[in-house]
Structure formats: structure tokens, C-alpha cells
Amino acid sequence: ISVSEQWIFLDGEFVKKEDAKISVYDHGFLYGDGVFEGIRVYNGNIYKLDEHLLRLYHSAKSIMLDIPQSKEEMTEIIRQTLQKNKLEDAYIRLVVSRGVGNLGLDPASCANPSIIVIAEELAIYPKEFYEHGLEIVTVATRRNRPDVLSPKVKSLNYLNNILVKMEASLAGVSEALMLNDQGYVAEGSADNIFIIRNGALMTPPGYIGALEGITRQAILEMAADMGYDVREEAFTRHDVYTAEEVFLTGTAAEVIAVVKVDGRIIGDGEPGEETNRLLRAFRQKVVEDGVKVYSDNSRIEIG
Ligand code: PMP
């Protein structure tokens, strides 16, 4: 899509991408004060929209940010943004910031939250990553403690994750393993982590400190239905190194195999059979787990 054709929803209206600008006094910009979601659209169906909206409104509640729109109104705004951009497969970035205020920290100076919806074509990991798997490394930066800035709040303050991402890039890899303050495995910079060890499928439980990933939840439910021994259990780097399979989950990445962690080769160094099976099962279900963007008779022609 060329720049001039992309429309952004910004505070009640659609503006062209090049005109989609917010005030330097917006507390989202000044202080990272706000919340967001990354949502995916498959073939005209918004994947797990209700779950994403629930997480958004929970994040907002946690930071005492009142979103003026109801979830139904937000759904309509997202739908319209997709229709306006004629998108059937897309990545949506939904941002609610505290809005424009003065230079003080106190959100009391911010009259209205800013609501931004960006819908664009998806930039996914290259196909080779799925075919051959990722190499990751453990980074020194630890996950925010849940009792400080809870990782369950998907806030605009992503510095913790950005520092992790930079450490990963410096090490020449595209994702990282982030530990919590006690040294237990938490998550990646923007993905949840799963291991298959001694036949059990494990991901860190909520108290360890990670985002409550929508894809994580989908995999937990799907794997249980498929008969896996599914456990939310704390584990260490040792458990990752000695796992049969390791994979990451996230809205953009879906399910992606990890084949090397801190120089240790996982399994036989290729994406594992169960990882591939879960990815296939996930992709088969994405359309049916979605909310329709277009009613059948208004379906747009994609030329
Ligand atoms: N952890 C973090 C820190 C993330 O930013 C994301 C991406 N939103 C995830 C995990 C994966 O969550 P989801 O499956 O909802 O995309």
C-alpha cells in the first residue's frame, strides 16, 4: 500500500498517514502513559477481537484510564478502519493514550484520551525463520516485576522490552529470552515462550511475570483439546536447554520454533514436530475464531 492510500483513525476521524500526527503534549509521548493492542486480521476476520479488547480495557483500568468508547464502539471503529483501507489480511495497532495535558505527570491535566487505530499489511518474520527456526539468547535485562509495573498491563511503556530487543540485536539474533527477577524464564521481548519437556507442554504461569498473550491462551486451550499434557509451570534456563522443543507465540509470529538457545541446540536443531503440528492447528482455526469485518454481501473486491 502506498503512503497516500493509508488512512489512520485518529481521535474520531480518518486522516491520511502523512497527516496522522499527535501533540507533543500527549502524555503517551511524554511519559508512555497509555495502553495498546496488536491485533491480526485473517481473511476478513479479526482474530480474538473480544479477548484483545478485554485485555485493552483491563490494562486501561489498571492504570486508571477511562476509555470513552464502549467495546462495541471500539469494534466498529476497527471495522471501519479496515474497510476504509480495504484490508482483509492485516495487522491492527490500537492505541489509547492519556491524551494531551501539560508537562506535569498528573493525568488530571489530560482532558481526553487519544484513540488511534492503524491498520496495515502485515510484516511477518521471513519464511526461513519458520522453516529453520530461531536462535535466541538470554539477555541481562530482567522482566519488570509484577508488583512494580505489571507485565500484564500492555502499556505504552515498553522500555523494558526495547532494552531486551536491543540486547538481542547486539547479539545478532532476532528474539531474546527474558528472565524474571528470580531467574525464572518469563518471555521474549514481544512473544510468550513454551517448552516441551519430558513430553509436557509448559509455559510460565502468570505470577512469573509475562504478558497474558492471546496466542499463548489459544495454544494452551488448543493443545489441551489435542490431548497434550499442558502445564503452566515455572521453569529455568536449564529446562529450556534440555527441552525437546521450544517455541514462541505472538500475534505477529503465531507459533515459531526456537532451535538454539545460548548456544545450546534444541532437539535436533530443526523446528520440532509438535511445534509444527501446533502451528498448523493454530492456522486452521484463526478464521473461525475471528469477528467478521465485512458482511457477506458487502465483501470488497480485492483486485
Ligand atoms: N509478550 C509481550 C511482551 C508482547 O508484547 C506480546 C505481543 N503483544 C506477547 C507477549 C504476545 O502476546 P499476543 O499473543 O497477545 O500477541
- Average pLDDT, stretch 125-130? 88
Q: Flag whether 212 is in a domain.
A: yes
- Give the residue, by CA position, lying nearest to ligand 1 atom 7: 190
Q: Flag whether 303 is in a domain.
A: no
* Residue 224 alpha carbon to ligand 1 centre in Å: 21
Rounded CA separation 5/28 (Å): 26
Q: Flag whether 301 is in a domain.
A: no
* Residue 37 alpha carbon to ligand 1 centre in Å: 9
> Do residues 234 and 273 share a domain?
yes
Q: What is the CATH number of the domain that holds 157?
A: 3.20.10.10
Task: Say if residue 224's pLDDT is above 90.
Answer: yes
pLDDT attached to residue 303? 39
Nearest atom within ligand 1 for CA of residue 189: 3
User: Which positions are annotated as active-site residues?
Assistant: 154
> Do residues 231 and 137 share a domain?
yes
Count of structural domains within the chain: 2
Q: Flag whether 60 is in a domain.
A: yes
> Do residues 163 and 55 share a domain?
no
> Do residues 176 and 280 share a domain?
yes
Burial of 108 (0-12, 13-18, 19+ CB in 10 A): exposed
CA quadruple 280, 282, 287, 288: dihedral sign = positive
Q: Flag whether 302 is in a domain.
A: no
> Do residues 106 and 174 share a domain?
no
> Do residues 167 and 212 share a domain?
yes
Q: Taking CB atoms and a 6 Å cutoff, what residues make up the pocket around ligand 1?
A: 38, 161, 187, 190-192, 211, 213-216, 249-251
Nearest atom within ligand 1 for CA of residue 252: 16
CA quadruple 240, 192, 131, 165: dihedral sign = negative
In this structure, the dihedral spanned by the alpha carbons of residues 48, 52, 57 and 62, taken in order and rounded to 10 degrees, is: 130
pLDDT tens-place string over residues 231-275 = 999 999 999 999 999 999 999 999 999 999 999 999 999 999 999
Nearest atom within ligand 1 for CA of residue 192: 10
* Residue 219 alpha carbon to ligand 1 centre in Å: 13
> Do residues 52 and 116 share a domain?
yes
- Domain's final residue, options 91, 120, 149: 120
Q: Which domain holds residue 98?
A: 3-120
- Average pLDDT, stretch 40-59? 97
pLDDT band of 123, cuts 50, 70, 90: confident
Task: Say if residue 133's pLDDT is above 60.
Answer: yes
Concatenated DSSP letters for 197-217? ETTEEEE--GGG-----HHHH
Q: What is the CATH number of the domain that holds 90?
A: 3.30.470.10
> Do residues 134 and 275 share a domain?
yes
> Do residues 194 and 230 share a domain?
yes
- How remote is the C-alpha of 273 from its chain's centroid? 24
Q: Flag whether 277 is in a domain.
A: yes
* Residue 297 alpha carbon to ligand 1 centre in Å: 34
Helix, strand and coil percent figures for the chain, each rounded to 5: 30, 30, 40
- Domain's final residue, options 120, 151, 182: 120
Task: Say if residue 296's pLDDT is above 80.
Answer: no
What ipTM score was computed for the predicted complex, to two decimals?
A: 0.99
Q: Flag whether 300 is in a domain.
A: no
> Do residues 170 and 137 share a domain?
yes
**Residue length, the chain?**
303
pLDDT band of 288, cuts 50, 70, 90: confident
The whole model's pTM is what? 0.95
Mutate to test the pocket of ligand 1, among 192, 203, 278, 282 (most ligand atoms within 8 A of CB): 192
* Residue 227 alpha carbon to ligand 1 centre in Å: 25
pLDDT attached to residue 302? 44
> Do residues 95 and 207 share a domain?
no
Mutate to test the pocket of ligand 1, among 191, 222, 247 (most ligand atoms within 8 A of CB): 191
